Structure 1
Amino acid sequence: MAEAERIIGTPDIPDAAGSEPETPDERPRGRRRILVLFTVAALAYALDLASKMIVVAKLEHHAPIEIIGDWLRFEAIRNAGAAFGMGEAFTVIFTVIAAIVIVVIARLARKLYSLPWAIALGLLLGGALGNLTDRIFRSPGVFEGAVVDFIAPKHFAVFNLADSAIVCGGILIVLLSFKGLDPDGTVHKD
């Protein structure tokens, strides 16, 4: 049974008597996934913060920089709303939603035995932290701050690296769900 669980990714669950996993190597599996989650989150968060610091220092109040003709440019924009600039009057609500997402991911981490889920949740966590940091610490005030967006494709909304991490994490979660893979490593074959 343990071999079948190992193959499909189901975590070893102690029996009713409370026995420990069969080998010492099986116990830290979940800890490694948590490490991956927080490493991915830290990388996404650090890249987002660094990019926004550069944009604010070098690009804000300056002309946009064309990267690929007029198809892609870097342009500093302060976005108090959500995606596509919608909901500017609801900045506090978006701040609360981001905080809730962070708490939910932190709670889910304890039950995490799937590497792909660790990566997906790490991307979501890093992106949520990046945008939450802007909403808390940027002007006009605490919990009312505007997110710094700067990646401006032609005929599309301006976004940032945190938004990209959130979207990539969300897409990965949808794909994992379609494959039937749960965060705890179980696989559902429907």
Structure 2
Amino acid sequence: MQAEAGTPLTPSRPRRTLVVLGLAALWIVLDQLTKVWAERALTLGEPVQVVGDLLRLHLIYNSGAAFSLGTGSTGVLTVVASIIVVLIVWQAFKVRSLPWAVALGLLLGGALGNLVDRFFRAPGVGVGHVVDFLRLPNFPIFNVADIGVTTAACLIALLALRGFHPDGTRDSDKAEAYPTREEQDAATPHTSPTQGDPTEGTR
């Protein structure tokens, strides 16, 4: 059956809201459990080697953003992070692409993981310091929430470069659904100029 004019030819896809929210919830739990463990098992400022110098556990409290960026602007970062969370949740109720749902779930879980620290840890509500404890060579100390945010950012960039959209369509789908004028002209049958006027001889 031919689609109506102006209607995309790609089938409708189910919303992936539960994937976003479910993955975000799992990531928050994982992040908070590892932070609780780090506070109990590690001593502040004293690194512990896990895989030589490649991976060390180093407990610190970070007042800045991910990877210790923006130190000293905790309140502003809390407001910005809260706005980002609201935007991600709003997008979660619209997304229909599974890869995009995974990316948004990791982004939401990572953002909320650190936001929980901002609201519920010392020195106070909205200005709490984030628990960081993972350290790689020549790299800022980070946590599981930061891993989620970074992975999501890389995945979103890859999806955008490959033409995948949150609504489940691709650039190639839109090109097929809306052919160019040249493609339409090529698909339209034309009357041969040698056939002449079909009404000739009836006059």
Same fold (TM > 0.5)? yes
Gaps of 5+ in 2: 176-203
User: Are residue 5 (structure 1) and residue 13 (structure 2) matched?
Assistant: no
- Structure 1 residues 128 and 84, CA, compared in 2 at 3 Å: closer, same or farther? closer
Could you tell me how far apart the structure 1 residues matched to 2:24 and 2:120 are? 19
Between Structure 1 and Structure 2, how many residues are aligned?
168
Q: CA RMSD in A?
A: 1.9
User: Are residue 34 (structure 1) and residue 39 (structure 2) matched?
Assistant: no
Cα deviation 1:129-157 (Å, max 9, x = unaligned): 10000111111111111110000112111
* 2:148 alignment partner AA: A
User: Are residue 59 (structure 1) and residue 59 (structure 2) matched?
Assistant: no
Residue identity over aligned pairs, in percent, reads: 45
Deviation of residue 61 (structure 1)? 3.4
2:72 aligns to what SS in structure 1? helix
Could you tell me how far apart the structure 1 residues matched to 2:67 and 2:143 are? 12
Could you tell me how far apart the structure 2 residues matched to 1:35 and 1:81 are? 31
Residue aligning to 2:164? 181
Deviation of residue 4 (structure 1)? 4.6
Could you tell me how far apart the structure 1 residues matched to 2:72 and 2:138 are? 24
| More helix by percentage | 1
Q: Which structure has the bigger radius of gyration? A: 2
- Structure 1 residues 77 and 5, CA, compared in 2 at 3 Å: closer, same or farther? same
* 1:71 alignment partner AA: L
Residue aligning to 2:178? none
Deviation of residue 86 (structure 1)? 3.1
Gaps of 5+ in 1: 13-28
User: Are residue 49 (structure 1) and residue 32 (structure 2) matched?
Assistant: yes
Q: 1:138 aligns with which of 95, 111, 121?
A: 121
Could you tell me how far apart the structure 2 residues matched to 1:53 and 1:127 are? 16
Residue aligning to 1:25? none
Could you tell me how far apart the structure 1 residues matched to 2:73 and 2:45 are? 28
2:85 aligns to what SS in structure 1? helix
User: Are residue 110 (structure 1) and residue 115 (structure 2) matched?
Assistant: no
Deviation of residue 70 (structure 1)? 1.8
1:66 aligns to what SS in structure 2? strand
- Structure 1 residues 143 and 61, CA, compared in 2 at 3 Å: closer, same or farther? same
* Residues 95, 101 of structure 2: 8 Å contact kept: yes
Could you tell me how far apart the structure 2 residues matched to 1:156 and 1:182 are? 32
